[in-house]
Structure 1
Amino acid sequence: MIDTEFDGIASCKSWQAARMAELSGPDSWLGVVGLFWLEPGQNRVGAGEDCAIRLPGGPAYLGDVQLTADGLLWQPRQGASQPLVSDRDGPPSVISFENWSFFAVDRDGRIAIRVRDRAWAQARPFAGLTYFDADPAWMIEATWEVLPAPILMAVPNVSGELKEVAVTHRAVFSVAGEPVALLPMSVSAEAAFFVFRDRTSGRETYGAGRFLKAAPAVDGRIRLDFNRAFNPPCAFTPFATCPLPPPENWLPFAVRAGELKPVSK
């Protein structure tokens, strides 16, 4: 059985500190400064106006990213070429130059290069995060219900595209006597991942909804700790491709737990 004892304020503070460290670091989402969708063939990289992948600084021409049927290749202006691995199956290859770095992202077969300024905090230090007070009432033990048959859920993203997600389970619980269910975006051996919105969205919390990760279910039960609900990457940069909450995950009440709107927004 899941241990339902509230983890306490100290545990929440530790989780919040880890979030702060992640978002304050050089590889934070706050340092993402560009997203460029690739065309087949050569895609010029550099600070020049003729570059398909524009760097905010550095040389006018740094090299080319080549997209072919065989994959991705980085060809620097000087030096040997090397294959690029996207983030489709794990961590991507990262190309670094001075304070800049870039890497390939795969979104259902569409390939883009995401550019990061690793020195972003020198110009605009992170203002930090704010939270609702930790509340044991929002650490909910839900039933992890197997669906009679898998369903295909249409999940939109911030770019206006739809992705079909196969869903085999749902987390069922009640709030103030009102039954509700959340459908996961993904389930792995490490976590179940949810995207939801509620009556605080766009007011106290980020308008496009929030993310929630839960440890794997045990004996048909799953713990949803909304005290650890967090803002998606698109709350911090316009160059993210975040999933939005599907209508099935629009909660009809306010979840006053977890992260509030980013301070800088």
Structure 2
Amino acid sequence: MSRTLQQWQAARRAELASPDSWLGLVGLFWLEPGSNRVGRGEDCAVRLPSGPDGLGELDWQADRVLWRPVGGEARELATDRASSPTAVDHENLSFFIVDREGRLAVRLRDRDWMSSRPFAGLEYYPEAPVWQVEADWVEVDPPIRMEVPTVSGELKTVEVGRKAVFEREGQRVELLPMSVGEREVFFVFRDRTSGRETYGAGRFLKAKPAVDGRIRLDFNRAFNPPCAFTPFATCPLPPPENWLPFPVPAGELKYRSAEH
């Protein structure tokens, strides 16, 4: 295995074994405009598994969310839309606000999750240089606007102005990106291993920005989305255009928890 791929896999393992892992999520609570109580009490919109019946309230007004803790000062919380979200900590619990196309939700994390649910580790296909693909980075004119569904049933609007085009097994393949940034291009895809050796809803793939009309897709770094590890994620699903008609035996395999 190449050193850089080994380092990438080690970083993936470290991320998923950390206190802030996706495996530590224990709740996702959609908010309503106005006041939303937080605590262990039955009348709370955000139900905590431990702690006081009333820890405080989240006040959602227009595009602002204020956290009003019991006996403390109110403060505004940033969502994950444009920056790192503001976390609110209570003992081993931590929560923050996620913005999904204008709908807000609280994502709740148990940072002591490994004490009751050990991390099972990750498995990969052997490294396969044949799945390091040099694709053409082709302009889509006019750009396409797609309504991409998520595992939580929401629709995410994506505008596609470029696509990665390559040939495999005598077939022309076109992959549409979910996002294109200055540092990376993000894809979601399915293939004939999905639901068998790999996660059924598909996998994620990130690539460096294109250079001189070419983009490098290293499927050895295809990885499971957050929803492979928790039911409290809101992952985008691959559009039909990104359903590959052949297996891609490269990258991360289906996660098998330590409980199975």
| Fold-level similarity (TM above 0.5) | yes
Match of 2:184 in 1: 191
- What is the root-mean-square deviation in Å for CA atoms of aligned residues? 1.0
* Paired AA for residue 124 in structure 2: Y
1:176-215 matched pairs, under 5 angstroms: 176-215=169-208
Deviation at 1:85, TM superposition (A): 0.9
Match of 1:5 in 2: none
Q: Is the alpha carbon distance of 1:166 and 1:60 closer, same or farther for their aligned partners in structure 2, counting shifts above 3 Å? A: same
* Paired AA for residue 97 in structure 1: H
Partner Cα separation in structure 1 for residue 97 and residue 44 of structure 2: 16
Q: Percent identity?
A: 65
1:164-175 matched pairs, under 5 angstroms: 164-175=157-168
Q: Does 1:152 align with 2:125?
A: no
Partner Cα separation in structure 1 for residue 126 and residue 252 of structure 2: 10
Structure 1 residue ranges without an equivalent (≥5): 1-7
Q: Secondary structure at 2:187's aligned position in 1?
A: strand
The equivalent position to 1:232 in structure 2, one of 217, 225, 229, is: 225
1:219-255, Cα deviation, whole Å (9 max, x unpaired) = 0000000000000000011000000000010000000
Deviation at 1:68, TM superposition (A): 1.0
Deviation at 1:70, TM superposition (A): 5.0
Q: Is the alpha carbon distance of 1:141 and 1:70 closer, same or farther for their aligned partners in structure 2, counting shifts above 3 Å? A: closer
Match of 1:80 in 2: 73
Match of 1:69 in 2: 62
The runs of 4+ residues in structure 1 deviating greater than 3 Å are none
Give the number of equivalent residue pairs: 258
Partner Cα separation in structure 1 for residue 168 and residue 202 of structure 2: 19
Partner Cα separation in structure 2 for residue 214 and residue 70 of structure 1: 33
1:165-189, Cα deviation, whole Å (9 max, x unpaired) = 1100000001122110100000000
1:1-265 matched pairs, under 5 angstroms: 9-69=2-62, 71-264=64-257
Partner Cα separation in structure 2 for residue 9 and residue 82 of structure 1: 47
* Paired AA for residue 55 in structure 1: L
Normalised to the residue count of structure 1, the TM-score between the two structures is 0.95
Partner Cα separation in structure 1 for residue 163 and residue 195 of structure 2: 25
Partner Cα separation in structure 2 for residue 13 and residue 54 of structure 1: 40
Structure 2 residue ranges without an equivalent (≥5): none
